[in-house]
A = this chain, B = another copy of it.
Amino acid sequence: MSENISGASVLIVGSVALDSVETPSGKVERALGGAAVYSAVAASFFAPVRIVGVVGKDFPSEHLAFLSARRVDIRGIQVVDGKTFHWKGSYKGDLNQAETIATELNVFQSFKPQLPPDYRSSQYVFLANIDPELQLDVLRQMESPRLVACDTMNFWIANKRAQLLEVLKQVDVVFMNDAEIRQLVGISNITRAANEISKLGPKYVIVKKGEHGALMYCGGSSCFSAASYPLQEVIDPTGAGDSFAGGFMGYLARCGTADEMSLRKAVVYGSTLASFNVQDFSLNRLQRLTQKDIDERYEEFKRMVFFESLS
């Protein structure tokens, strides 16, 4: 696949942040981060991207310039008085679990997504992990998207359950990890839990398992199992799930499709983007990523799972 940023637009709504992260490999202070940023940059390798978020006056203009240079439409980023959302966390040992040291919501606390009028006709929508009330607010502003996906987290499952269930009714795809899936439906078997979640709305339930890859359950009828790329070193897992979602959405928007086989390929492109993202801090690896890098790793994913052709 050669450089080809085309197709429908992806609308992404979520956090734009400054992250202070420490891992066994080193640390960064107030580096570019946020779910919307990771997913927008990942999606930008495939399709035009529009981002909706909020930053404070302290947000370095070079970060906005970086997004613009990647052809991400940043008119949906509100710049308001105050400080940008700041997350501080650390990863230890096997890097599977972040320990949050500080979450300073700052201007993100009063975030109200406002979509520029021409964003409303976007065909592919990714609602990153934010308050489900805001996710619903975005959906009310949309015209008739082709495919809507959302992310969420344990806090919303516990504290905004009714609103989250309303979001799930309206989305086609939900991204969750094992623990969130079990928490949402109270079933420990992931296959049964995912099928229960499908009954709540989303035809596709994508289970993000980090180093163990991803599963995509399709309406209780089939299951796609995707590998994780066997990296020799993970530098910083921050943004892995969001770059996964971004690569997934970007690929679908470029194809303009929403069938199961396209979604399977999208999962692998998502895994590809996530595998690059964790190879450096912040957005550093994605900044220097090329289409050739993506194509080669996607081919590696194909070889990595091959054992026999379909009959």
Contact = CB atoms under 8 A, between A and B. Distances in A.
Contact of A192 (B212, B232, B302): B232
A60 interface: no
A306 B230 contact: no
B304 A310 contact: no
B232 A305 contact: no
A226 B234 CA distance: 21
A265 to B, nearest CB: 5
A216 to B, nearest CB: 10
Interface stretch (A28-36, A70-78, A183-191): A183-191
B304 A224 contact: yes
Interface string A194-231: 01000000000000010111010100001111111011
A55 interface: no
Contacts of A62: none
B230 A215 contact: yes
Residue of A227, A228, A267, A268 most packed against chain B (CB within 10 A): A227
A268 B307 contact: yes
B188 A93 contact: yes
Contact of A230 (B190, B211, B234, B267): B190
A308 interface: yes
A307 B261 contact: yes
A191 B306 contact: no
Given A209-B212, A213-B212, A225-B227, A234 B189 contact: yes
A309 B308 contact: no
